[in-house]
């Protein structure tokens, strides 16, 4: 999809559909929306008066221009109460408006920048938010659909970001570019997560990483089973031994053209391409959703794409241990003991607590690279869904400064993150009678103990764990920039974290 910034009035733009906005409770439109209303002889005002549009956040109405404007239709989108408006709400409004424009038949749509006028938001950031919301909101995954005469598909091919003030339009260009890079990386990640497990195998995930690296300042290395055996990655290999699919350890390495200094960052993502639970088999109902258990790994790949395109000033490793977790005659059993790369032994209590096992070896590997910080991201625990639902990701960390930086990056991205404690008492749940540690501490505080397990292998390196089990997939209706299905959560948080980190060193 092509994006462009144009300095002109929205009433003069040549597009199939134009998008304007309105705050909740406004009866007489002003600004660009007022100009469109006047051109339409007060059609927007009359729509409000009839109660057909209130300005609620994400609410839309489509009005035929009846030939009074170069466009065929106008979509008006609600911004919610003016006092509550934020960049995040700008993204929400942009996503809702873009889908409505597509529904109205737009091949080309033009939109004002939500919040850059009377909304009072900074122009470039508002343009970035509008771009992200539009591009992410238009996402859909139909790779496997054949032609359907009952539901013809068309897509928006071009989006024009319109600003009448030429000086502001120039400022917006950088925001639009950054928003496009971030949203494209999110949608790349969504494609990986949405693909079925018979397609998105560990091998295919490794190929996707190699394809992504082409044309970008990214080095790629794929470690095979023999490499993992040589390195002593018994935790990862224990999970992989039940599957006919070979495991892969994907390593992307970004070296900045101008390094600002500081030790490298490691981004580590769980890449379980299908999780049956292994011998500790999951219930059959809903098991098909476990194709998305590699969403953390996919987020790392998407973030590495964005980091490389935006030219971060710090060295970054993206590490994704990828494997299936399957039951078979060769699968590991509850009661087994495996040895991680750092020599620590692990008693397997449940083979369905497998994500932390593959992350243990990946985190150990990151430490051998001399990194100064590790951020891991994983669909790790159902307990996180119980604790936080589907509206926030959980975080545990061994370093307050790093935790705050990641939470702030999430706020910049519009991705909510809630920190959970990591008290010493939780360690008692992880003690094993026969090994250094066991892979689950039972039901109490499951999100925290799952994170603690990974942190055990981070050692003294500053480390943050993000649990995205509740936020990686949207199972209800489309909303704003979040269409139903994979969300791509984590991509923008990780990218903003790295970009901000590179400015602080």
Distance (Å, rounded) from C-alpha 75 to C-alpha 62? 5
The answer to whether residue 171 is domain-embedded is no
Examine the domain organization and report whether 264 and 410 are in the same domain.
yes
How high is the pLDDT of residue 245? 98
Examine the domain organization and report whether 130 and 217 are in the same domain.
no
Number of domains in the chain: 2
Mind listing the pLDDT tens digit for each residue in 236-271? 999 999 999 999 999 999 999 988 888 999 999 999
Distance (Å, rounded) from C-alpha 174 to C-alpha 157? 21
The answer to whether residue 166 is domain-embedded is no
Examine the domain organization and report whether 192 and 134 are in the same domain.
no
Domain span holding position 41: 2-138
Indicate the residue among 138, 154, 170 that finishes a domain.
Answer: 138
* DSSP reduced 3-state for 196: coil
Examine the domain organization and report whether 303 and 441 are in the same domain.
yes
The answer to whether residue 165 is domain-embedded is no
Indicate the residue among 118, 138, 158 that finishes a domain.
Answer: 138
Angle, vertex CA 143, rays to CA 141 and CA 146, nearest 5 = 120
Mind listing the pLDDT tens digit for each residue in 95-148? 999 999 999 999 999 999 999 988 889 999 999 999 999 999 999 999 898 866
pLDDT at residue 149 is higher than 70: no
Examine the domain organization and report whether 130 and 235 are in the same domain.
no
How high is the pLDDT of residue 255? 97
Distance (Å, rounded) from C-alpha 296 to C-alpha 279? 23
Examine the domain organization and report whether 233 and 330 are in the same domain.
yes
Examine the domain organization and report whether 229 and 83 are in the same domain.
no
Looking only at the bridges linking them, the beta strands covering 108-112 and 17-22 are: parallel
Indicate the residue among 138, 171, 204 that finishes a domain.
Answer: 138
First to last CA, the chain: 35
The answer to whether residue 176 is domain-embedded is no
Mind listing the pLDDT tens digit for each residue in 48-57? 999 999 999 9
The answer to whether residue 154 is domain-embedded is no
Q: How far is CA 303 from CA 276, 307, 372, 497, in A?
A: 27, 6, 18, 10
Kindly provide the b/e burial profile for residues 222-259, where b requires at least 16 CB atoms within 10 angstroms of the residue's own CB. bbebeebeebebbbbbbbbbbbebbbbbbbbbbebeee
Examine the domain organization and report whether 106 and 237 are in the same domain.
no
CATH number at residue 299: 3.40.630.10
Mind listing the pLDDT tens digit for each residue in 282-332? 999 999 999 999 999 999 999 999 999 999 999 999 999 999 999 999 999
Give the relative orientation of helices 491-504 and 400-413 as an angle to the nearest 10 degrees. 120
What is the CB-side half-sphere exposure of residue 197 using CA atoms within 13 A?
22
The answer to whether residue 342 is domain-embedded is yes
Examine the domain organization and report whether 106 and 206 are in the same domain.
no
**Residue 142 Cα to chain centre, angstroms:** 19
CATH number at residue 48: 3.40.220.10
The answer to whether residue 251 is domain-embedded is yes
* DSSP reduced 3-state for 453: helix
Does the CA dihedral 184-190-193-195 come out positive or negative?
Answer: negative
Examine the domain organization and report whether 114 and 260 are in the same domain.
no
Residues annotated catalytic, as ranges: 282, 356
Examine the domain organization and report whether 124 and 23 are in the same domain.
yes
The answer to whether residue 163 is domain-embedded is no
Distance (Å, rounded) from C-alpha 297 to C-alpha 191? 13
Examine the domain organization and report whether 134 and 279 are in the same domain.
no
């Amino acid at each position: 999809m092509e994006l462009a910034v144009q300095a002109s009035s929205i009433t003069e733009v040549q597009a199939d559909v134009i998008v304007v906005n309105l705050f909740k409770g406004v009866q007489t439109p002003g600004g660009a929306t007022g100009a469109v209303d006047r051109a339409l002889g007060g059609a927007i005002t009359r729509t409000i008066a009839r109660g057909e549009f209130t300005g609620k956040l994400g609410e839309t109405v489509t009005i035929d221009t009846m030939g009074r404007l170069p466009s065929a239709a106008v979509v008006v989108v609600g911004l919610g109460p003016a006092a509550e408006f934020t960049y995040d709400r700008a993204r929400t409004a942009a996503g809702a408006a873009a889908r409505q424009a597509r529904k109205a038949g737009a091949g080309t749509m033009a939109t004002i920048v939500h919040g850059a006028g009377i909304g009072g938001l900074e122009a470039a950031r508002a343009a970035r938010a509008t771009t992200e919301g539009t591009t992410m909101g238009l996402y859909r995954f139909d790779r496997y659909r054949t032609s359907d005469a009952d539901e013809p598909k068309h897509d928006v091919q071009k989006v024009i970001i319109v600003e009448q003030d030429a000086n502001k339009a120039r400022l917006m260009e950088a925001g639009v570019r950054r928003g496009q890079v971030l949203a494209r990386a999110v949608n790349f990640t969504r494609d990986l997560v949405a693909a079925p497990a018979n397609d998105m195998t560990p091998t295919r995930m490794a190929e996707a990483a190699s394809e992504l690296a082409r044309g970008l300042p990214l080095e790629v290395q794929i470690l095979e089973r023999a490499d993992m055996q040589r390195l002593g990655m018994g935790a990862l290999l224990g999970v992989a031994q039940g599957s006919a699919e070979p495991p892969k350890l994907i390593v992307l390495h970004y070296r900045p053209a101008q390094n600002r200094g500081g030790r490298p960052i490691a981004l580590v993502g769980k890449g379980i391409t299908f999780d049956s639970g292994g011998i500790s088999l999951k219930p059959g109902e809903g098991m098909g959703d476990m194709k998305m258990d590699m969403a953390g790994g996919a987020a790392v790949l998407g973030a590495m794409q964005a980091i490389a395109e935006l030219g971060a000033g710090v060295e970054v490793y993206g590490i994704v241990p990828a494997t299936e977790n399957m039951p078979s005659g060769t699968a590991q059993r509850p009661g087994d003991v495996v040895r991680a790369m750092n020599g620590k032994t692990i008693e397997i209590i449940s083979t369905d607590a497998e994500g932390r096992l593959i992350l243990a070896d990946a985190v150990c590997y990151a430490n051998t690279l001399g990194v100064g910080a590790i951020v891991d991201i994983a669909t790790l625990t159902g307990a996180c869904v119980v604790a936080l639902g589907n509206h926030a990701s959980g975080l545990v960390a061994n370093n307050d400064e790093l935790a705050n930086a990641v939470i702030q990056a999430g706020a910049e991205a519009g991705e909510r993150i809630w920190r959970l404690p990591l008290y010493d008492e939780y360690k008692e749940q992880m003690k094993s009678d026969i090994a250094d540690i066991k892979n689950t501490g039972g039901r109490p505080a499951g999100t925290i103990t799952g994170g603690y397990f990974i942190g055990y292998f981070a050692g003294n390196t500053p480390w943050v764990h993000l649990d995205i089990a509740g936020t990686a997939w949207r199972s209800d209706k489309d909303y704003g920039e979040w269409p139903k299905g994979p969300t791509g959560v984590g991509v923008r948080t990780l990218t903003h974290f790295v970009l901000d980190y590179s400015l602080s060193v």
